[in-house]
Amino acid sequence: MKRDRLQQMVIDLQSLREITTLQACEKYQASEATVRRNFNELAEAGLAVRTHGGIRILEKQQMPSVPYALRETWNADEKKRIAAEAVKLIRPDHTVMLYGGSTMEQLGYFLKDGRIITNFPELCRILRLRFPTGEGPQVILTGGQLNYRTGLLEGPALRRSLENYQADIGFSSAFGMDGTGLLDISDECSEQIALMLERSAVRVILADHTKFGRKSFCRCLPWEKIDILITVFDPENHEYYKAVRECGVRIIFADAGNGKLKEK
């Protein structure tokens, strides 16, 4: 499927640094014409640099976030199952920090209680449509400048506004993660995730199976500062699960579509 192929190209580019047309044809089982179109789309979206015969990764200082409109289609069903598990951790009297993203969008379709503090305007739109008469959760939108690519509020105003709040539980994801902790695509994203989670008594990470082993150059929080990880089980990620558990993190495996829930 085209969107899955584009997603995998973005992920592979983080570790391979460069992908040629021939490599892509073999790796993704696609024609040269299809690969060239995909390469052009990634370059036009600012996610890669087009080269003669392929694409290469952007320099660190140029590295952009993946546009929200693209990310929201990636692994959407899996993110929905993760969100359905995450909402079970929220009590009616909870104050909840939500760092925005495509998984948090799915969480918006399950939220019904609590006080929500978020830098994600899209969540406000979802809740407004779900609760047109105002009976839904209370929502506090942080300050900040809107990033059109990510759909998030960010910058100094965000940091200042968060100084006023503490939460019972905080939720976030990240661009990638390894056995040490969370990774993201910029110092600013990493700092903002850390700030929101560190102001939460319980810190929860929501991650689809593709996040594990995905490389990036900015370290965020180590696993020792995370309480719960919610994901969908993938046997290829077994070594990551082991490393995460050794750091004291509780892992919840969401229903993978077979009606079963695993937790350790």
DSSP 208-234: -GGGBT---SEEEEEGGG--EEEE---
Q: At 45, is the pLDDT very low, low, confident or very high (cuts 50, 70, 90)?
A: confident
One domain for residues 245 and 226: yes
Q: Residue 38's domain spans which residues?
A: 2-60
53 with 29, same domain: the answer is yes
Give me 32's structure tokens: 């040269």
- pLDDT 10s digits, 75-99: 688 999 999 999 999 999 999 999 9
Q: Kindly state the percentage of the chain with pLDDT values over 90.
A: 64
Domain count, the chain: 2
The 10s digit of each residue's pLDDT in 188-210 is 889 999 999 999 999 999 999 98
Q: Residue 187's closest CA among 228, 151, 154, 223?
A: 154
Q: pTM for the complete prediction?
A: 0.76
Residues 54 and 77 in one domain: no
Residues 150 and 240 in one domain: yes
In terms of domains, do 158 and 33 share one? Answer: no
